[in-house]
Amino acid sequence: MQRKNKLALVSHCVLNQNSVVSPLARAGGAFHSLITVLSEWSLGIYQLPCPELIHAGMKRKPQTYEDYNTPEYDAVCREAAQRVLRDLDGFRAVGCTVSLLLGIRGSPTCSLTGVTGHLFRTLMPELQHRYPDIVMLDIPEDYIEGDCHQFHTMLRNVLRSGNY
């Protein structure tokens, strides 16, 4: 089967809710239904690293954007962004393009709307430069895996429109 050569970049916790601070997880493992939608459109899925996990480990407390607003955390995010961009250069060299970025609304690290998360503040300018047609969507704060949510419809509509 031929590759579609399109990638969706997803925040780490889209594929692994086990990495989320304990009281904030919204799925047993992954956001399975969202992954299913991406798979239906033959998108490759690239899991972004989790700077919060890298920086503070699994037993970390919930923290705000301001709590993470430190030079040390910025360095972790810069290093993670550089790794992602190196990986994407490899995909690009074989004809892949990045079509979609899924963030997590309200995340101090991976929010696209409102206050841009620390990782995305570092990564987005270069992504937008390299992939000017990239579609960026935030998974809403009230999204819970297994519940019927309007975000599924919105994601499908974006993919159906071909503007991804």
DSSP 78-109: HHHHHHHHHHHHHHHHTT-EEEEEEEETT-TT
Confidence of residue 163 (pLDDT cuts 50, 70, 90): low
> 29, 17 in Cβ contact below 8 A?
yes
Angle of the 118-130 helix axis to the 71-93 helix axis, nearest 10: 30
Domain coordinates in residue numbering, the chain: 6-161
Residue 90: its pLDDT value, please? 97
Confidence of residue 29 (pLDDT cuts 50, 70, 90): confident
Residue 3: its pLDDT value, please? 85
pLDDT in tens, 54-70: 999 999 999 999 999 99
> 123, 81 in Cβ contact below 8 A?
yes
Residue 62: its pLDDT value, please? 93
pLDDT in tens, 91-132: 999 999 999 999 999 999 999 999 999 999 999 999 999 999
Confidence of residue 24 (pLDDT cuts 50, 70, 90): confident
Q: Which residues of 12-36 are buried (b: 16+ CB within 10 A; e: fewer)?
A: bbbbbbeebbeeebbbeebbebbbe
Confidence of residue 47 (pLDDT cuts 50, 70, 90): very high
Residue 155: its pLDDT value, please? 95
